[in-house]
Chain A
Amino acid sequence: MAIVETRAVTKVFKAGTLGAVNDVDLVTEEGEFLVFLGPSGSGKTTLLRMIAGLEVPTSGDILIGGEVVNDLTPRERRIAMVFQSYALYPHLTVYKNIAFPLKAQGVPKDQHRKKVEWASGLLSIDHLLQRKPRELSGGERQRVAVARAIVREPNVFLLDEPLSNLDAKLRASARAELEQFHRRVGTTTIYVTHDQVEAMAMGDRIVVLHKGVVRQIGTPKQVYDDPADTFVATFLGSPPMNLLENGDVIVGFRPEHLVPAALAPGAPIKLTLKIQNLEYLGSEWIVYGKVAGEASDKTIIARLPTADLTIGTTHDFAVAEPHLRFFDKATEKRAPARALSWP
């Protein structure tokens, strides 16, 4: 196991353009499951590829186990990676796919079978060893890719959106399996995803990236409850955090904290909403409304366990003080809490 560290890592693909990754500093913890989360083009995969040694940083250092690895090949970094496409070797059987890293790294041949059986047993694919990748389902391919990654017991695991090619149901079970698997092997893992649910569910910590810049690093609870800026506030959470301008600050609150006014007496924010739309999601209702009497087009979203509301009617809602988050209007960064004068 090893700690991965990046120091002011920057990647510029074309001189004169904005970097794909800009000045990223981060340190994993031993055995941690760290998730890079961000929308498309946020630089998360580029950052992962630089750690893997598949891209050369324009500037900055990458350290694995305390050693600067900038000039080391992927092979010398002792990392394993699962690609989004799984990148299985199509002409080799599952057995040979899993044994390939052992062969490539000069592990004595008599140990191959034992190690392949261990890895395939761990991922319950031991019955598929003689098949070719084209004869496998998406979920099976993903497991073979993971088995190929773990077979040589690497220092660090890098996973690039390994669940994005699976259907929704399979994704949920594969996610749970990956979590269990990580707990069992305890290897430092960096996981790239654009899916906030995956990030929240799996990550010990989440690195939120946007336009190649780290916006926030924290536990899932920290990034959800205490977002560092308005981007994190709106990127995490579905539906996203409501943001309302008030003087020189932006006030944010999660949809689940916007409740009927009767349930939050003395709350500093009271909103009279005209209901625009209602969505019933089984366990909850998503209520879309506009502030009554205001010209603003801003849609406010509430998430309620039950809702006896009708579209077009007007209702009072409120947010309790502890749930309010403040952001500076100019920088959009987090600002200290303050007393509000709400109209």
Chain B
Amino acid sequence: MAVTEGEGSSAGNGPGASLARGTPRGVKRRPRSSGSSSFGLGVAMLLPAVLYVLLLVAVPFGMAFVYAFSDARIGSGGDHFVGFDNFASVLENPSFRKALGNSFIFTISSQILVLVGSTALALALKEKFRGRGFVRFLILLPWVAPISLGAIGWKWILDSIYSVINWVLIAVHLVKPFDKPMWLGQPTLAMISVILVHTWRLLPFSTVILLAGLTAIPRDIPEAAAVDGAGFWRTLFEITLPMLRPILNVAMLFGIIFTFTDMIVVYVITAGGPYDSTQVLPSLAFFTGIQGSDLAAGAAISLFLVPLLAIIAYLMLRVAHRAEVT
């Protein structure tokens, strides 16, 4: 015990030394039992989080690294080190290149739609109107409902035979019954579909964040802009949005991470098809590594996300820090 040793050594150094060293330490020191128990409590409180991160994040991450440099396959016994072979072969794979491009299209398009949509929704929901609480509840639903349920609903809405969208388009004579769009069967339409469904899913989260940001703007500020002669658009673009920028950054960075690492919508709605036209990196990693049994290639694909996500995580930390200090 360090404290006991310290006391012992100061006692042996004569009265002056004992006063100079011993007294202040004696005054400030907490009772030993309370100190050790609070240390134990601290460890106990921290342990679940540390274990969680270690077992569910660090270990799989480490395993992905090991697999990416091996020839591991599901069911095969021996793993051999193969260097960068997996990365080289993945880079040559047309599906991978397609998925990489799709990941960017999927992320950027859905984020633009989410930010525009959630800003409009947040502005509308900030105003008082009859039934505002109910509308807020409805808008939150896609976020709180299980994603697979929502995605299955969308699968039906976009189905080649039973699509209600097509039914409506035919009813209003915008499309012909024999030439209706195949939402999930044509590459461009399938990509638009997964982007729209993902936008629908992320919209509530972003809206709630922006709504919180909007309500934090003092009422006097937009009123002063109105008195100064600014109309709706000038107030929005020159006052409201710049003041919302820190919170918009947070919403956007969270959205990018959620989108870039997500495969549920693609998995349930199109399974990456048709012809890999909606395949994104996480879904390709899953299909290759788990369903295709090629653990090594799957791990190599998923590791391509790491540098990009590291940059985004760094930006997020910077934004969070700036929000903290201002």
Contact = CB atoms under 8 A, between A and B. Distances in A.
Do chains A and B interact in one complex? Answer: yes
Interface of A: 52-54, 73-75, 79-81, 83-85, 87-91, 100-101, 104-105, 148, 152
Interface string B217-259: 0101101111111110010001100110100000000000000
Contacts of A85: 218, 220
Contact of A54 (B226, B228, B230): B226
Given A90-B243, A104-B234, A83 B229 contact: no
Interface string B189-229: 00000000000000000000000000000101101111111
B128 to A, nearest CB: 12
Given A91-B242, A104-B231, 8 more contacts: A74-B223, A74-B227, A79-B227, A80-B228, A87-B223, A90-B243, A104-B234, A105-B229
A53 B229 CA distance: 12
Given A89-B239, A90-B243, A75 B220 contact: no
A101 B226 CA distance: 9
Contacts of B234: 104
Contact of A104 (B221, B223, B229): B229
Interface of B: 218, 220-221, 223-231, 234, 238-239, 242-243, 245
Contacts of A87: 218, 220-221, 223-224
B224 A81 contact: yes
Contacts of A90: 243
A73 B224 CA distance: 12
Contacts of B238: 100
Q: Main SS of chain B's interface residues?
A: helix
Given A89-B239, A90-B243, A91-B242, A75 B218 contact: no
A47 to B, nearest CB: 16
A80 B227 CA distance: 6
A172 B218 CA distance: 27
Contacts, number: 59
Nearest to B221: A87
Nearest to B220: A87
Contacts of A74: 223, 226-227, 229
Contacts of A152: 229
B127 to A, nearest CB: 15
A52 B243 contact: no
Given A83-B220, A87-B218, A104-B234, A54 B243 contact: no
B225 A104 contact: yes
A73 B243 contact: no
Given A83-B220, A87-B220, A75 B226 contact: yes
Q: Which of A52, A79, A101 has the most CB of B within 10 A?
A: A101
A80 B229 CA distance: 9
B266 to A, nearest CB: 38
Contacts of B243: 89-91
Contact of B227 (A54, A89, A91): A54
